[in-house]
Amino acid sequence: MLSTNVLVLNRGYVPVDVTTVRRAFAMLYQGIAKVVDDQYLTFDYHSWSELSVKEHHDSVGLVDRLVRVPRVILLQIYDRMPMRTVRFSRFNIYLRDKNTCQYCGEIFSRKELNLDHVIPRSRGGRTSWDNIVTSCFSCNRRKGGQLLKTAKMRLLNVPRRPRWTPVSVYTLRRGHYDEWKPFLNPIDFAYWNSELEQD
Ligand SMILES: [Zn+2]
């Protein structure tokens, strides 16, 4: 039971990792994370361990009592996660750019945005974290194959490899619990999470 999976959300409720029950309890105990239950209520270690354990709950014996096994935890701080390479995928690029056109600054739905090469491919621009941004169709058309200067456009943010570590589709498939479902976007994970080819 201690080695089964727990979904880790960052403070924006975005899945960032899958950890073990053992490690989840350690994080709760240290105050690094809180439990999220099926009603989206959050609990610290103390309040969680006070909850009664029903028959259908997974539980572990801790010190002097049975404690319910958390299936989703919410990070309270950012910097305690192990750093991993962030997957260069559509999902993560949209996440980094917060579904915002990096030229006009407007927020769009995902299907109204596309990926833009800041330095166009035709001018040797690479497909990489520092040359790909989300752009709305209209800005994309306006820019065309031009460099920013020629197009008289500018970027809102300098594109960089993000520092957070979003969870990959592979990790999510490994051990899936019903409690995770609300936090996993009902989008096509294969499309969004597959690794894009960098050059
Ligand atoms: Zn735009």
Domain 90-151: assigned CATH number: 1.10.30.50
Q: Averaged over 47-56, what is the pLDDT?
A: 88
Binned at pLDDT 50, 70 and 90, residue 95 comes out as confident
> Which has the higher per-residue pLDDT, 10 or 129?
129
Question: Is the predicted pLDDT of residue 192 greater than 80, yes or no?
Answer: no
Domain boundaries, the chain: 5-83+167-186, 90-151
Could you tell me if 127 and 196 are in contact, meaning their C-beta atoms sit under 8 angstroms apart?
A: yes
- Cα of 150 vs centre of ligand 1, distance in Å, is 17
| pLDDT tens by residue, 163-181 | 655 555 545 655 677 778 7
In the prediction, which pLDDT does 193 show? Answer: 55
- Cα of 186 vs centre of ligand 1, distance in Å, is 25
In the prediction, which pLDDT does 70 show? Answer: 95
Question: Is the predicted pLDDT of residue 186 greater than 60, yes or no?
Answer: no
From residue 154, alpha-carbon distances to 90, 119, 129, 132, 151 in Å are 22, 12, 17, 14, 9
Could you tell me if 66 and 58 are in contact, meaning their C-beta atoms sit under 8 angstroms apart?
A: no
In the prediction, which pLDDT does 189 show? Answer: 46
In the prediction, which pLDDT does 10 show? Answer: 81
- Cα of 100 vs centre of ligand 1, distance in Å, is 8
- Cα of 122 vs centre of ligand 1, distance in Å, is 21
Q: Averaged over 25-52, what is the pLDDT?
A: 91
Q: Averaged over 74-94, what is the pLDDT?
A: 71
Q: Averaged over 171-195, what is the pLDDT?
A: 62
